[in-house]
Amino acid sequence: MVIGGDAAGMSAASQARRRRDPGDLEIVAFEQGRFTSYSACGIPYWIGGSVGGPDELVARSPEEHRKQGIDVRIRTRVTAIDLDSRTVHACDLEAGHEYDEHFDCLVYASGSVPIRPPIPGIDAAGVFGVQTLGDGAVLRDELDDSVRRVVIIGGGYIGLEIAEACQVRGLDVTVVDKAATPVGTFDPDIGSFIADAVRGMGISMILSDGAAEIETGSSGRAVAVHTEAGRRLPADLVVLGLGVRPNVSLAEEAGIPLGTSGGIAVDNRMRTQVEGVWAAGDCVESVHRLSGRRVVVALGTHANKQGRVVGINIGGGYATFPGVIGTAVTKVCDLEVARTGMSEAEADAAGFCYLTTAVDSTTRAGYFPGAEPIRTKLLAEKRTGRLLGAQIVGREGAAKRIDVLATAIWNEMHVDEILSLDLSYAPPFAPVWDPVLIAARKAFETVEADSRK
Amino acid sequence: MVIGGDAAGMSAASQARRRRDPGDLEIVAFEQGRFTSYSACGIPYWIGGSVGGPDELVARSPEEHRKQGIDVRIRTRVTAIDLDSRTVHACDLEAGHEYDEHFDCLVYASGSVPIRPPIPGIDAAGVFGVQTLGDGAVLRDELDDSVRRVVIIGGGYIGLEIAEACQVRGLDVTVVDKAATPVGTFDPDIGSFIADAVRGMGISMILSDGAAEIETGSSGRAVAVHTEAGRRLPADLVVLGLGVRPNVSLAEEAGIPLGTSGGIAVDNRMRTQVEGVWAAGDCVESVHRLSGRRVVVALGTHANKQGRVVGINIGGGYATFPGVIGTAVTKVCDLEVARTGMSEAEADAAGFCYLTTAVDSTTRAGYFPGAEPIRTKLLAEKRTGRLLGAQIVGREGAAKRIDVLATAIWNEMHVDEILSLDLSYAPPFAPVWDPVLIAARKAFETVEADSRK
């Protein structure tokens, strides 16, 4: 039995189905929305108009899953889990009837929910989170001709992606964020590039100032956001871009233990601490391979991998999820930004001493048409030179280079090893020293100079 | 004393200069051409017109090097090395005078020379190799209005890049290659994509048929290429694209030992077997980290790294060159192709048993505008699943992903580890399973299925 019909849950279901026949293993999946296996990450582009809609964003529909022998029940909410009787209590939201269903083996894949800070007016009409494809549909419907001004609370990945989408639609967009620079998973020096890019496309960005209250009009609908510093930002629509938290309420009530991070605690095979209960996706915590800490990282790519691991294990195979290193990428207008490993704040918190270096280069040979700027910042451990983190900011062709550094971190490489890597070179693709190698060389020189002190 | 003023030699000179003052270390560099520190890889783009010329391709001119305290002597050919007296014999090609110069420490960085097969007519006027910036200038001058038909002998990297450049200039281009598919460092299945792309842009490609003779006209100039199968290919200009071999004649005559591959034998610090004599760049052999064999790989990126290693060591520091894994990338028209590790032929020769898989995917989320096809072929070792080689063919955004697989091979990763890598994901940059991960997953499944046999 699977709770949650998106990436993690349905990957688990599909993998288990591939390994065990319907006669041997019955699979039921509950999904409270109408869609299964969709790309939530694509929603901003649907809103912005560059992607067509649910048909394009759904990788596999409920019907397609049913054809594979998975009993998908959409518009059905699980309201309770009873671990003693091994049953869930389900509510068919369309027909309105409730029923219990027995399980031998449970996959908890309930995803995440947008963070809604307890400020006055947060629950008013006209205030939207963007999490599910259903949310996206609602928001798109709202963005009719009556809407001209959009205020986005929070300048994280989703906040900025939605801001850009609204800007593309010709709306007047303001982003407000408590921090001094947007996207807090980046160091402030990289964040300031992001802020410049956002402003450069005509989006207002108010930093170091959080939302304090949402003002509602006579109809009860949000009409403005008031900030802590006393600004009043008129809004026809308010979008929450404050990130997400794991959707663990059902698990908590049932007694499935959470970890220190607030996500569901799982082992390497994605088993919870309750026999026969598995969990995967945005609702679980993962091991950060560098800090050793438990972290919750809500990303479709992890959800897919974790779901696969669950499905293989339930199917009788053996698979593990080896943890994360915090890799992420996004695009803000023409600016590409990416990160992996630890930021300065994370490295500080984990107790590492490190040196930082930043190097400017180009995505292709400097003389080659289409060469774009790329800045690569590295955090290398003091003395050892082990790579602890990397951040890239640049234009077309810049960001995906983070994957090389992610693979290097994964393998615990030191910057002096990285600078010798045999990476591909030809003028249309890189300078003769790839930006990644130049950055490693500079970091190595910095570590060496520091060691002589 | 440095012989050869391009990437390897001048990197060595610059690094040594950074570490030791002119009062402590005198540096003389001999270069027979007019240019130093240039990008030979950029020559095809100069010929094609997308790059301006020597000013853009030269990273550092003789004057700039002199300002750094390096005595660069251009248009000066070293004609002999006497290891007993520690002198070189040099010939100033402009003034015509010859002289001996003493060295304490020698850096041999003479690069490579185009392969010229011993076929009749190969030395005729109108037959060109493209190796130095000087060669590029000559070829450009030749491509005047009287030239309409160009025949290129050899369909390797340089051959195809020159073919494209000539095609861009509106010429009638034919490539002739002995092998059944072009660019022999790729497996034939990938090579056939390359052949299709080349033909798709209107270049004639004759495969499985080598050049047998170059016919010369009454003026002694090449007028046609005759093939082994009896074709006569009329040509106003013939370009050799048969690859290069290490330029080791001086070293051989002097008694600097070569290795099994024909390149100069060096140790990890780039020392030859003669005390005080170093070598770097296209003329040396490197260790292939997978096969353990000595190989010659003529690539600017290795030359730069090796030169740096030499310069640091001569400068009193410690650096090593840890070998190569055969990474390469090129662009043929809109087709991007890249490889790393071993091809099937190389793996066979090195005695590995392996399984191959190929997976088609897209460079971005399938629904995202600009998603382009990408095919990833992997060679994984039988039983262990260790990644032995990778080849990528696709459109924009495909090829540079090879660097992730190169880093994985460098770290001796197995395909089941690779599929768990925390690579960056967002719809403008990748599907939720990056093509690299999908390829690793498929390879893992193949290795697993094979192990059950």
How much is the ipTM here? 0.96
Q: What is the pLDDT of residues B58-69, one digit of tens each?
A: 999 999 999 999
Contacts with A, B 222-241, CB within 8 Å: none
- What residues of chain B lie within 8 A of the CB of A433, using their CB? 301, 304
Instruction: Quote the DSSP letter at residue B85.
Output: T
Question: Residue B80, exposed/middle/buried by CB under 10 A (0-12, 13-18, 19+)?
Answer: middle
Contact indicator for B415, B449 with CB cutoff of 8 Å: no
Average pLDDT (B250-265) is: 98
Average pLDDT (A31-54) is: 93
Helix (H, G, I), strand (E, B) or coil at A390: strand
The answer to whether B84 faces chain A, any CB pair under 8 Å, is no
Q: What is the pLDDT of residues A285-306, one digit of tens each?
A: 999 999 999 999 999 999 999 9
Q: How many other C-beta atoms lie within 10 A of the C-beta of residue A254?
A: 18
Residue A388 and residue A351: Cα distance in Å, rounded? 12
Pairing mode of beta strands B237-240, B244-246 = unpaired
* Residue A53, pLDDT score: 85
In this complex, the residue of B399, B406, B424 whose CB is nearest that of residue A338 is: B424
Q: How many other C-beta atoms lie within 10 A of the C-beta of residue A220?
A: 11
In percent, the amount of chain A with pLDDT more than 70 equals 100
Task: Output the DSSP codes for A94-115.
Answer: TT--EEEEE-SSEEE---EEE-
Q: What angle do CA A216, A222, A224 make, to 5 degrees?
A: 85
More confident residue, A152 or A131: A152
* Residue A131, pLDDT score: 87
Question: Distance between terminal CA atoms of chain A?
Answer: 60
In this complex, the residue of A331, A404, A423 whose CB is nearest that of residue B428 is: A331
Cβ contact (<8 Å) for B304 and A430?
no
Cβ contact (<8 Å) for A365 and B42?
yes
* Residue A260, pLDDT score: 96
Q: How many other C-beta atoms lie within 10 A of the C-beta of residue A328?
A: 22
The answer to whether B49 faces chain A, any CB pair under 8 Å, is no
| Predicted confidence (pLDDT) at residue B53 exceeds the cutoff of 90 | no
Average pLDDT (B158-185) is: 96
Q: How far is CA A161 from CA A331, A386, A392, A395, in A?
A: 8, 33, 18, 16
Average pLDDT (B204-230) is: 97
A–B: how many Cβ contacts below 8 A? Answer: 195
Q: What is the pLDDT of residues A429-450, one digit of tens each?
A: 999 999 999 999 999 999 999 9
Mutate to test the interface with B, among A41, A403, A416 (most CBs of B within 10 A): A403
- What residues of chain B lie within 8 A of the CB of A56, using their CB? 367
- Residue B40's nearest CA partner among B112, B93, B94 is B112
Computed on alpha carbons and rounded to an integer, the radius of gyration of chain A in Å comes to 23
* Residue A173, pLDDT score: 98
Average pLDDT (B377-382) is: 98
| Predicted confidence (pLDDT) at residue A97 exceeds the cutoff of 90 | yes
Residue B163 and residue B190: Cα distance in Å, rounded? 19
Average pLDDT (B18-42) is: 95
CA distance B230 to chain A (A): 35
Residue B37 and residue B29: Cα distance in Å, rounded? 12
Contact indicator for A183, A337 with CB cutoff of 8 Å: yes
* Residue A55, pLDDT score: 87
Mean pLDDT value across chain A: 96
Contact indicator for A415, A440 with CB cutoff of 8 Å: yes
Residue A380 and residue A88: Cα distance in Å, rounded? 49
CA distance A33 to chain B (A): 21
Q: Domains (ranges, CATH) in chain B?
A: 2-113+245-314 (3.50.50.60), 116-242 (3.50.50.60), 328-451 (3.50.50.60)
* Residue B144, pLDDT score: 85
Residue A253 and residue B400: Cα distance in Å, rounded? 48
The HSE-up count of residue A106 (CA atoms within 13 Å, CB side) is 28
Residue B439 and residue B435: Cα distance in Å, rounded? 6
Average pLDDT (A327-336) is: 94
Residue A343 and residue A188: Cα distance in Å, rounded? 10
* Residue A157, pLDDT score: 92
| Predicted confidence (pLDDT) at residue A419 exceeds the cutoff of 90 | yes
Residue B27 and residue B18: Cα distance in Å, rounded? 12
Q: How far is CA A154 from CA A13, A125, A163, B272, in A?
A: 34, 19, 10, 60
Mean pLDDT value across chain B: 96
Q: How many other C-beta atoms lie within 10 A of the C-beta of residue A83?
A: 14
Q: What is the pLDDT of residues A111-142, one digit of tens each?
A: 999 999 999 999 999 999 998 999 999 999 99
What H or E segment, with its residue span, contains residue B8? helix B7-19
The answer to whether the Cα torsion of B407, B412, B418, B421 is positive or negative is: negative
Q: What is the pLDDT of residues A350-384, one digit of tens each?
A: 999 999 999 999 999 999 999 999 999 999 999 99
Strands (E), B28-136: 28-30, 71-73, 76-82, 87-92, 98-102, 106-108, 112-114, 127-129
Average pLDDT (B77-84) is: 98
Cβ contact (<8 Å) for B424 and A324?
no
Centroid of chain to Cα B187: 18
Q: How many other C-beta atoms lie within 10 A of the C-beta of residue B53?
A: 16
The answer to whether A318 faces chain B, any CB pair under 8 Å, is no
| Predicted confidence (pLDDT) at residue A199 exceeds the cutoff of 90 | yes
- What residues of chain A lie within 8 A of the CB of B376, using their CB? none
Residue B434 and residue B394: Cα distance in Å, rounded? 14
* Residue B453, pLDDT score: 87
Average pLDDT (B386-415) is: 98
Q: What is the pLDDT of residues B119-137, one digit of tens each?
A: 999 999 999 999 899 999 9
Q: How many other C-beta atoms lie within 10 A of the C-beta of residue A52?
A: 12
| Predicted confidence (pLDDT) at residue A150 exceeds the cutoff of 90 | yes
Q: Is A105 a catalytic residue?
A: no
Contacts with A, B 147-206, CB within 8 Å: 157
Average pLDDT (A251-259) is: 98
* Residue A333, pLDDT score: 85
Average pLDDT (A183-200) is: 95
Cβ contact (<8 Å) for B41 and A432?
yes
CA distance B36 to chain A (A): 15
| Predicted confidence (pLDDT) at residue A210 exceeds the cutoff of 90 | yes
**Which structure tokens are listed for A71?**
């009993």
* Residue A453, pLDDT score: 87
